[in-house]
Structure 1
Amino acid sequence: MQQKSPSATIQDMRNVYIKSLTLVAAAGVSALFSADAAQAASCKAIPGEQYDIRVESEIPKARIDHSKDRAALGIISGDLSGSIQGLHQHGVTLTLEQQIKYYPQGEGICFWLNRVVLTVAYETPVIYVAKEYSERSCNYRAILQHEAKHVQVAQTHIRQYRDRFHKSLSSLNLPRPTEPRYAKDADAAKADSLNQLRALVMPIFKRLEESMTTTQQKVDLPREYREVQRRCAKW
């Protein structure tokens, strides 16, 4: 195979970024007190109760797929020119679990968030290297090293944004033990708190996505492709 010119290498390897967001309301609701509905009054702080925040990340090791030829990689990437030598796929998801507690108050309940767990998961990334290149070849190693940069970008962003998610979930606007909130029933309480959590988390997820995309694009600048081409004598 003849060596490609630098301008031709721009389409050789590209990042396929799959984005998704899952917010799951998995709420366990437990009653703490019984109260006479006739004594309805404003919701009072609950001494000794805690609001537990956990932000976790799941970052699995990338899987390498060497079973597909360049034509198949072109179908996956949407580029049917036959120039795709390697690419990678991954997705980032957020799973939000909330637990609320409450006590009866008048015709409804006073409730607060007892526990929130936010998991930022990097779905198992897949690095594809066209099977035309032997695992022992210089080409295989060069493509693999390039695609691994994309994986590193995603992993770094997920780690960096954990603290930002945690800070957002510490918002004073959320129903907490120190400031319970009134709702007509447990279902309304769960919906109310989930909507507030979503409003706090979504803007940060969007910033993570935008920053990650910008950094991924830098990995695919023409100079990066020229560097890949320079590593091996023949393509």
Structure 2
Amino acid sequence: MKLVNRKSRLKGSLIFDEFPTIYFTGMDALLSTSRSDRVSCTLAVHYDQLKKDYGAEQADVIVNIVGNVISGQAMGDTAKKLSENFGKILQHRQSTSINSSDTSISRSSQLDYAIPAAKISDLSSGDFVGIVADNPDQMITLKMSHSEIQNGHESIASEEESYKDIPIVDNVTYSDLIENYSSIKADIERLLNEEFQRIVARNQDVGNASDTNDNIVNMDSSENQLLPGVNEY
């Protein structure tokens, strides 16, 4: 990532699917600087899982620092967090009261969540809510949206019917599996025995060399005792 996220580099895109399953230190710094370095980052996350693996503080930083958020159906704290991030808008409400003698209509305006958590929890398959960021020279009037992916289900079904099964290269029997397992096990035992013998031989060589050095020292000391005029200290 450090090689990609630099000045004067080609445009790039980093896509992390199931992002909480891997841990990156400094992801908040990457998200903060990647846009100016012409690098787009896409994180596919579950907020609850991100909070569990990265911690609540780091998860909030990562979620709050991104500019574009697209979400499908979500429950619990994830839906609540997304609803808070989407913000509130001024909403007009009208209520009608009818009794036996009169009918009254009251209108009011108040700030409320643009996309309530209950709405996010109730999204159907293919429905998405989101908010996008813009540039000063490319202003976007409608940033928040509630959209539906229009899939050509008939085209997809006809395409799936034309799929062909993967051809069978070879039939593997249970005896083949046992034979392969036994071969691998024998290779591991052979490698362990060879390594063990090598370690034992090396230790013996080290021990023999140590004994030889001791003998040389003893011989030198005995020769010094035989030399005349040598004082012992």
Answer yes or no: same fold by TM over 0.5.
no
The higher-RCO structure (CA 8 Å, 6+ apart) is 1
Larger radius of gyration: 2
Q: What is the TM-score when the length of structure 2 is the normalising length? A: 0.17
